[in-house]
Structure 1
């Protein structure tokens, strides 16, 4: 059974371009650290302060190992620091979902 980590970001709507830069960096870093990135999704119509990141893992243990690698990855650390310095993320929530199968 694989798990989908759904990260829901509440972003500063005036810093959407900066958040998109942040999201683009994860497109390289997340796969290098072991996550199967399904994508980052930016606001388009409607709500202008919600973005999503979707990453798949084989298990919760694989997610925990990924998080450890992410914290020690130079690009990952730099991206976290960029987001903090720019103050572009106002809130973040993670949900772990499993696929419904027949």
Structure 2
């Protein structure tokens, strides 16, 4: 199992738009094959950092998931919304494995 961490730099004056974006992904991501942990908007401290976190079986499953998400009407609408409103200034994605799991 891999966990995808997406770090966003957002326009702090458009936090509400990012929150709408996050709610849309809360519907689209699970129905296209990933296990959503959540999207996290700034609350205290930094006003520009936000995160999206989900689990996916492996990189091959990720590729299939991305194809389904790109064909999903809500996924398409949400991507277009982000491009139009320009609330995401930067996006970095990384895949990590949980190194603290106990294996016997």
TM-score range, shorter chain: over 0.9
Distance in 1 separating the partners of 2:17 and 2:56: 27
Matches for 1:1-102 after TM superposition, within 5 Å: 2-100=1-99, 101-102=101-102
After superposition, give the CA deviation of every residue in 1:18-76 in whole Å (9 maximum; x if it has no partner): 11001000000000110100000111111100100001011111111100101111110
Distance in 1 separating the partners of 2:76 and 2:49: 23
Distance in 2 separating the partners of 1:93 and 1:27: 19
Instruction: Give how far 1:83 is off.
Output: 0.6
Instruction: Give how far 1:16 is off.
Output: 0.1
TM-score (norm: length of structure 1): 0.97
Question: Which of structure 1's runs of 4+ aligned residues deviate more than 4 A?
Answer: none
What stretches of structure 2 of length at least 5 have no aligned partner?
none
Q: Name the count of aligned residue pairs.
A: 101
Distance in 1 separating the partners of 2:21 and 2:75: 10
Aligned-partner SS, 1:45: coil
Instruction: Give how far 1:96 is off.
Output: 0.5
TM-score (norm: length of structure 2): 0.95
RMSD (Å), alpha carbons:
0.6
Distance in 1 separating the partners of 2:22 and 2:53: 11
